[in-house]
Copies of this chain bind each other. A is one copy, B any other.
Amino acid sequence: MSSTKKSQDTEGQILVAAKKIFQKKGMDGARMQEIADEAGINKAMLHYYYRSKQLLFEAVFSNAFALLAPQLNKILNDDSTIEEKVKNFTHNYISFIAKHPYLPNFIIQEMNRNPKFFDKIQQNTAFPTLDKFNSQVALEVEQGILKPIDGKQLFINIISLNIFPFVASPLIKGFLRIDDKGFKELVEERKKAVSDFIINSIKK
């Protein structure tokens, strides 16, 4: 009963294994054999299901990106106020990434390696835009709720403050001379610290 079709299992196992290896080592650093070992199957299976390293990688990447996109959509396109958005996004995003620590670095690393591939993603995926967020910021500034600030810059600030510490975690651990446990605590504190920091800066 527990076994669905064998094929389904294998294909899924490959994707899980590939995700793990690609996210840890990147496209160039990953080895097909290592992915096969991780999945506990023969290397030929990788090609049977995904044809090439490139296609397997793209499956993993799209998958990862699809996980991230909704998080961003929320801050860009839901109907709460900017202040609420900042609070929610900061809290949710940090919780989310704590569960997927390799994700941001993976996305950024591979995006830098091959910007053209990213262009492809951008067209295929329903890619979030800044339009609504921008006009919302402009409106709240006009209404005197926020101090004058450009929506684009605010958006960049928000994602910078939230994402960068994860991307640069080894650097931060180095500077602050903390270990994994200390880093976890730091990140936990940041859920409030980042939110306060941003609100302090923009709220009139």
Contact = CB atoms under 8 A, between A and B. Distances in A.
A97 interface: no
Copies of the protein in its oligomer = 2
Contacts of A202: 197, 200
Contacts of A176: 130, 152
A137 B164 CA distance: 22
A113 B175 contact: no
Interface string A156-173: 110111011101111110
B26 A128 contact: no
A135 interface: no
Contacts of A160: 160-161, 163-165
Given A26-B26, A200-B202, 5 more contacts: A26-B109, A111-B171, A129-B177, A160-B160, A201-B201
